[in-house]
Amino acid sequence: MREFSISNREKFRRIDPVILLCVLGMNILSIITLASAADAYGSWYVKVQIFASVVSILVMFVITFIDYDALFQKLKFAFFAASIILIIIVKIWGTGSNGNENWISFGNVSIQPTELVKVTFMITFALHLDRVKDKINHPLSILQLALHAGLIIGMVLWQGDLGMALVYMAIMAFMLFGAGVSMWYFAGVAGMVLIASPFAWSVLTEKQQMRIIAGFNPELDPLGSGWHALRSRDAIIAGGFRGAGFSGGTQYAKLWGGQSDFLFSVLAEKFGFLGTLLYIVLIVTLIIRILLLARQTRKKYASYICVGIAGMLIAQAVENIGMCLALLPVVGITLPFFSYGASSILSMYICVGILQSICTHNKKYYFERETQ
């Protein structure tokens, strides 16, 4: 029975304050860090980040008040088609460097469509998982899910974006695990990857091999593949416990991409261990809160979306911080709600809007009994 749909005031009251405060805290910390490094990178990045954040926050609130279930059920096929079309557009008209052509430029403005495709991928994959949830471990169900994810991930790899493809793989793995897929399937995939590794390594060029090796040990190629990681680590070390202060520090100016992929290193030098700890506390709190929400959702597929968003945040945070510490290969992944980038900020806030929509519509009607 469905009666007495809740008011917008009631929806606003149901917004999760912990999620909202965590993302706003990281966003503000990002703007402060960019402003502190404006002498090296320019004030343009600060202005764009502020503008992108304001627009993204407005988008988040719009999504918050929309019934996610009605929207996703109605547009699920459109979302899947949009994912494919956007990736094809990037492949045809995309710009970039080093074989990674994942940007679409409009004059001085560039967007990264694969950031937005992450959102549509999570929605459609969650709905697919929900459709086969009663026979999730049947080989045919696993094959269908593999084809669904494999098509999108394969197309992302096709355009040369390895870093983004790894994020998609992490999202898929977390969502499959959250849906109850048997660990034997995960073990089987891990075994196949292990067996195929020697062959995959042999087809890589020497430069590609060195880039991977230097990712874990940058001292082996300090003037080449390991240069960025070493400069990043120098900036982190220079920050110490308290940091050099808003106007202090020198190492961050040597970083290429310090405003985007390596902004965590700038944070470390400017505000020290305490500054980085603040970000880590905020992101960990956000992830825990999302996972708690996943256990309380009215719709099963909404739980899968929550797990996918949490998996995305974990994958991006671990990889980005790892490469800034010169512990993991540099693959060009942004730090959630922190690295400069309008596309990244927008996609993250869309995810938060979906999370808040799940919160505000968790009990959609005063009298309602779910049939699934």
Alpha helix ranges (H) inside 65-101:
68-93
Q: What is the pLDDT of residue 108?
A: 66
How many other CB atoms sit within 10 Å of the CB of residue 6?
15
Q: Tell me what percent of the residues of the chain surpass a pLDDT of 90.
A: 64
pLDDT at position 13: 86
pLDDT band at residue 101 using 50, 70 and 90 as cut-offs: low
Cβ(157)–Cβ(101) below 8 Å = no
- The more confident residue out of 40 and 96 is 40
Q: Which two tokens stand for residue 229?
A: 């990681």
Whether 63 and 356 have beta carbons less than 8 Å apart is answered as yes
Q: Are strands 100-106 and 109-111 parallel, antiparallel or unpaired?
A: antiparallel
Cα R_g (the chain), whole angstroms: 21
Give the per-residue pLDDT at 96: 63
- State the average pLDDT for the chain: 89
The model's pLDDT over 36-54, given as tens digits with 9 standing for 90+, comes to 999 888 889 999 999 999 9
Q: For 156-200, how does the pLDDT look when each residue is reduced to its tens digit (9 = 90+)?
A: 888 777 888 899 999 999 999 999 999 999 999 999 989 988 888
- Tell me which residue of 271, 269, 260 sits closest to 335, measured CA to CA: 260
Instruction: Supply the pLDDT for residue 366.
Output: 44
Q: Is there a contact between 270 and 33 (Cβ–Cβ < 8 Å)?
A: yes
CA–CA gap between residue 220 and residue 217 (Å, rounded): 6
Give the pTM. Answer: 0.92
In this prediction, residue 100 carries a pLDDT of: 59
**Residue range 279-298: mean pLDDT, rounded:** 96
Tell me the average pLDDT across 258-262: 88
Worst-scoring range by mean pLDDT, 24-38, 200-214, 249-263, 317-331? 200-214
Which residues pair with residue 106 across a beta bridge?
A: 109
